[in-house]
Amino acid sequence: MLGRIISGNTGLLIARKHSRERVELGELVVAPLNNDSKLLLQVVDIGYSSQLDKKLLEFIAGISVEHGESIDEFGKELRYYELLSLTPLLEIRDSNVSAPRVLPGIFTPIYRVNSKDLWFLGGRGVSLGFIRSGSNVLDIEARLPVEKMLSHHVLITGTTGRGKSILMKNLLWQLLDLDNVSCLVIDPHNEYYGINGKGLRLHRNASDSLLYYSPVNYPGAISLIVNISLLRPEHLSIIDFSDAQWQLMNAYYKNYGDKWIEALLLGEELPESLKKSFNEATLNVARRKISLLLDIEIKNNSIIPRGIFTTTGGESTIKSITNALMNGKIVIIDTSTIKSELELLISNMITREVYREKLSRIHKQEQAPIISIVLEEAPRVLKNNENIFSTITREGRKFGIGLIAITQMPSLIPRELLANMNTKIILGTELSSEREAVINSASQDIKYLDRTIASMNKGEAIVTSTFSSIALPIKIPFFDEEIALKEEKEKKKYIGL
């Protein structure tokens, strides 16, 4: 017995803790009810209390501080104690669970939770980690239905170094075993494939189900080059251009079609009816911005590509990536060596084509997998309500296409888009403004978990989801250990053990 309930209400109960028991913030406990059911509760705060007046306590402490006297009072375990603040999560019966609607009796004992109490968790689906009670990890995996979770969008948030990338690696490793889910991963840190360590390339299905594109000639990489003829003005919508520059680019596209970039950069003339609408300054600024963005040099009236955009080759790159996703593969795009604006442009081009192809297949009643697009530093694209990523966040679930948005700063994402992310995986977050953003948009009421979120260690998280009965406290397995465990299981299966 950890203690007994002494006061509270349906939102928050208070229990006096046993003096010899250690109870942690975030720990799960149960309290028996009169109808052979249990109330599942979570510790959301711990505080001191005493039978003595506060001024007297200060006096007693002062004697010890000033004169070095020891404090050894009779009955101190009764006079001084800790109070636990507990938020009710669920009423648990033998065969079902329900939202808590009753209070336990006064002085009801509370007990540490065990795996049998949480029989309703686990089951089928993708594993996010193991259920955690405080820092104690239980032998129960936190699983969510993968198709629903991914199509209804996921937010992964937390301070740097808390385990966001490890969680994402674990998730992608499992997706490589599935045929009905594909994933486009925009990887600005080149950390998922495993060029410099363990990564997805070690998966047994990597040769069939994983594609890796990079501007660098890494082993196993497909060259990331894109022909400039594939560019449309709409692809540049994610970059800051003035209204006059937009009108200029659209005029060149209307007049020159697939050759509009070359025509604009080489100074080809527009028809007089269009030319008079733009001044020379607008044309020069647009040329300079586009050539810098695409890393293109103009020399002797010729285009000289210096980066991933080229005039020869790369015509099928976007289409090949799209087809791979439509066939249930995971595609990683290494953008670690290119500038941020170019990364956004490539992401925009691919995502628009994927979205268009997905809608086309639905219209033709053809089979297509659930497609998830992984975005690191997601506010860069989600702060604007008028681009393809925001459109997917609002409407993608209808078509089986979703986002996994990874960020340290969820407060920079518009509230409407945050609310549409039905699964949020919250790792340790110190900034109160960032905790407030995810707490206010969570699928469960987690307002009492503010301090818990601030105090979580690396690899600890809270999962709040439409597809879970409670906000799940989890421990994320370390990726290298997870790989070693899976490899050992595969080896044993192979030799018949």
Q: Are residues 10 and 111 in the same domain?
A: yes
Q: Are residues 381 and 445 in the same domain?
A: yes
What are residue 8's DSSP bridge partners? 13
The predicted pLDDT at position 142 comes to: 93
What are residue 424's DSSP bridge partners? 155, 464
Amino acid identity at 317:
T
- Which residues, including other chains, have CB under 8 Å from residue 228's CB and lie 6 or more apart? 261, 262, 294, 296, 303, 305, 309, 310, 311
Q: Are residues 407 and 448 in the same domain?
A: yes
> Has residue 493 got a pLDDT over 90?
no
> Has residue 72 got a pLDDT over 80?
no
Domain of residue 272 covers 228-310
pLDDT digits (tens, 9 = 90+) for 34-49: 778 999 999 999 999 9
> Has residue 483 got a pLDDT over 90?
no
Residue ending a domain, choose from 85, 100, 118: 118
Amino acid identity at 403:
L
Provide DSSP, 451-492.
HHHHH--TTEEEEEETTSSSPEEEEPPPHHHHHHHHHHHHHH
Q: What's the CA gap between 208 and 177, in Å, rounded?
A: 11
Q: Which two tokens stand for residue 404?
A: 């996994």
User: Residue 97: inside a domain, yes or no?
Assistant: yes
**pLDDT band (50, 70, 90) for residue 497:** very low
Average pLDDT (423-446) is: 94
Q: Are residues 390 and 490 in the same domain?
A: yes
The predicted pLDDT at position 450 comes to: 92
The predicted pLDDT at position 474 comes to: 95
User: Residue 46: inside a domain, yes or no?
Assistant: yes
Q: Any idea what the CATH number is for the domain that residue 489 is in? A: 3.40.50.300
Q: What's the CA gap between 31 and 393, in Å, rounded?
A: 40
Q: What's the CA gap between 19 and 118, in Å, rounded?
A: 26
User: Residue 238: inside a domain, yes or no?
Assistant: yes
pLDDT digits (tens, 9 = 90+) for 231-283: 999 998 888 888 888 888 999 999 999 999 999 998 888 887 777 778 888 88
Q: What's the CA gap between 482 and 476, in Å, rounded?
A: 10
From 105-109, 282-286, 324-328, 471-475, the region with the lowest mean pLDDT:
282-286
Report the number of distinct structural domains present in the chain. 3
The predicted pLDDT at position 4 comes to: 96
Average pLDDT (86-98) is: 90
User: Residue 316: inside a domain, yes or no?
Assistant: no
User: Residue 318: inside a domain, yes or no?
Assistant: no
Q: Are residues 50 and 182 in the same domain?
A: no
Q: Are residues 255 and 347 in the same domain?
A: no
> Has residue 115 got a pLDDT over 60?
yes
User: Residue 305: inside a domain, yes or no?
Assistant: yes
Residue ending a domain, choose from 84, 99, 118: 118
Q: Are residues 357 and 451 in the same domain?
A: yes
Q: What's the CA gap between 305 and 140, in Å, rounded?
A: 53
User: Residue 267: inside a domain, yes or no?
Assistant: yes
Provide DSSP, 59-113.
HHHHHHHHH------TTHHHHEEEEEEEEEEEEE-SS-EE---S-PPTT-EEEE-
Q: Are residues 488 and 444 in the same domain?
A: yes
Residue ending a domain, choose from 94, 118, 142: 118
Q: Are residues 8 and 99 in the same domain?
A: yes
Q: Are residues 40 and 89 in the same domain?
A: yes
Q: Are residues 268 and 417 in the same domain?
A: no
> Has residue 494 got a pLDDT over 50?
no
Q: Are residues 359 and 478 in the same domain?
A: yes
> Has residue 294 got a pLDDT over 60?
yes
User: Residue 319: inside a domain, yes or no?
Assistant: no
The predicted pLDDT at position 428 comes to: 94
